[in-house]
Amino acid sequence: MALREILTVPNPVLKQASKPVETVDDELRALMDDMLETMYAAPGIGLAAIQVGVPKRVIVMDLARPEEDKQPRYFVNPEILWRSDDTAPYEEGCLSVPEYYDEVERPARVKLRYLNYQGEQVEEDAEGLFAVCIQHEMDHLDGVLFIDHLSRLKREQAIKKVKKQAKAA
């Protein structure tokens, strides 16, 4: 396993749409393992492959609290089959927009289908933090960042803040 660089705004790669994965093989599992290690080191709770410069429809996630055992999740070619009409606001952050947080309104519940780490198809319902996180990460697969859901002014402020931090580093 290896740590990978997490791309930050305004890197144009983050605006690319990711391509579907043909097969879940050892090479893809190695990518997912690297992504998970990178996410834990950041630290974060979700990471899409495009955030490490790989335009594949792959997400890793772990919503376990710090005091709990790790609960890694893997999502290959995830798709939302259903969204609830009711929405819920949630303060989101993103490893590609470091140190910036803002409230985003998303469907409160979703039903999704994806391939797991073994390549088996799974369907499940998501609500709460899981629903927020999977929708946030799936946006990345289509070249959308959480700041794209905000006003133009807030989006520009977020990008400016990240650029300023990068210069200071």
**Active site positions, annotated:** 137
Residue in 90, 114, 120 with CA at minimum distance from that of residue 102: 90
Q: How many residues does the chain have?
A: 169
* CB environment 16-33: b (16+ within 10 A), e (fewer): eebeebeebeeebeebbb
Element (H, E) at 132: helix 128-141
Location of structure tokens 């997490």 = 6
